[in-house]
Amino acid sequence: MYVCLCKGITDSQLRDAVAEGSTTFKEVKQQLGVGAQCGKCIPLALAILAEETAKTALYYEVA
């Protein structure tokens, strides 16, 4: 699904960015350009970022 129509960024790309080490919105914005134009994608991008970083935190907590 597209998260950012201005830049053509999908939720998969956001999830991949987190998997590659991005943990903050600033890092994701620098890497992908999400939220750099109209800003309507920011709430959804933040939700996906929170979801993915929570998964990573749980993984390390169990390991």
Count CB-CB contacts under 10 A for residue 19.
Answer: 11
User: How many domains is the chain partitioned into structurally?
Assistant: 1
Q: Can you give the pLDDT at residue 35?
A: 94
**One-letter identity of residue 55:** K
* Nearest Cα residue to 11 out of 58, 56, 51, 57: 51
pLDDT tens, N- to C-terminus, the chain (63 residues): 999 999 999 999 999 999 999 989 999 999 999 999 999 999 999 999 999 988 866 555 555
Strands 2-4 and 9-10 turn out to be antiparallel
**Pair 34, 44: CB distance under 8 Å:** no
In terms of residue numbers, what domain contains 20? 2-62
CATH number at residue 45: 1.10.10.1100
Strand ranges (E), 1-63? 2-4, 9-10
